Amino acid sequence: MEHVTLNNGTEMPVLGFGVHQIPPDLTEQAVSEALAAGYRLIDTAAAFGNEEAVGWAIKSSGIPREELFITGKLWVQDAPAEDNTRRAFETSLARLGLDHLDLYLMHQPYGDVYGQWRAMEALHREGHAKAIGVANFYPDRLIDLTLNNAVTPAVNQIETHPFFQRAADHDVMREHGVQIQSWGGFAEGRNDLFATPLLREIGKQYGKSVAQVVLRWLTQRGIGAIPKSVRADRIAENIDIFDFELSDHQMAQITTLDTGESQFFDHHDPEIVTWLTRRRLDA
Of 8, 45, 2, nearest to 178 by C-alpha is: 8
Q: Is the residue at 4 inside a domain?
A: no
Long-range contacts of residues 139-142, Cβ cutoff 8 Å, at least 24 apart: 139/168, 139/169, 139/172, 139/173, 141/109, 141/113, 142/172, 142/173, 142/176, 142/178
Q: Is the residue at 2 inside a domain?
A: no
User: How does pLDDT run across 230-282, given as a tens digit for each residue?
Assistant: 999 999 999 999 999 999 999 999 999 999 988 888 888 898 888 888 888 86
Q: Under a CB-based contact definition with an 8 Å cutoff, are residues 102 and 131 in contact?
A: yes
The CATH number that applies at residue 195 is 3.20.20.100
On whether the pTM is more than 0.85, the answer is yes
Domain with 75, as residue range(s), is 11-278
Q: Is the residue at 60 inside a domain?
A: yes
**Would you tell me the crossing angle of helices 248-255 and 197-206 to the nearest 10 degrees?**
160
User: How does pLDDT run across 96-131, given as a tens digit for each residue?
Assistant: 999 999 999 999 999 999 999 999 999 999 999 999
User: How does pLDDT run across 2-45, given as a tens digit for each residue?
Assistant: 999 999 999 999 999 999 999 999 999 999 999 999 999 999 99
Q: Is the residue at 160 inside a domain?
A: yes
Q: Is the residue at 210 inside a domain?
A: yes
Q: Is the residue at 59 inside a domain?
A: yes
Q: Is the residue at 6 inside a domain?
A: no
Q: Is the residue at 283 inside a domain?
A: no
Long-range contacts of residues 36-40, Cβ cutoff 8 Å, at least 24 apart: 36/61, 37/232, 37/235, 37/236, 37/239, 38/1, 38/239, 39/13, 39/15, 39/235, 39/239, 40/1, 40/13, 40/16, 40/67, 40/68, 40/69
